[in-house]
Structure 1
Amino acid sequence: MSAAHHLVRRIRRSGLVRFASGVLGADKYERYLDYHRRHGCSEPPMSEKEYWRSLTDHQEANPGARCC
């Protein structure tokens, strides 16, 4: 295996990828599904496309204190 391949494997094992995904918000849909399962919601969960549309609609309607 190449040195680059070993480096990528070490980064993945270190949790850096998961941490970066959390900081960037890439794991929001997975967290939504976890919440939905844990709380026994009666409605089926939104699809990933529906979730992101709902989130962006909410953010546009309620800008709050965002940087961009």
Structure 2
Amino acid sequence: MILTTYDKDLYEKTLKEDAREEGREEIRAELNQLTICLLNTKRYNDLELAAEDIEYQKKLLKELGIE
């Protein structure tokens, strides 16, 4: 039988890291959807602006119902 000690701080740190990674994956998925949508509709200028301006990016995500 193997006994391990419970490290509350390590456990909480691991949970936070996992949540952070899940958040990053969700953001990547949204940005991928935005990119595909803008490419499919040939909105190249919007894609370029969204890559440079986070506020514009947020506006487009809301406009396109991706967020």
Q: Is TM > 0.5 for Structure 1 vs Structure 2?
A: no
Structure richer in helix, relative to its length: 2
Give the TM interval when normalised to the shorter protein. 0.3 to 0.5
Question: Which structure has more RCO (C-alpha within 8 Å, separation ≥ 6)?
Answer: 2
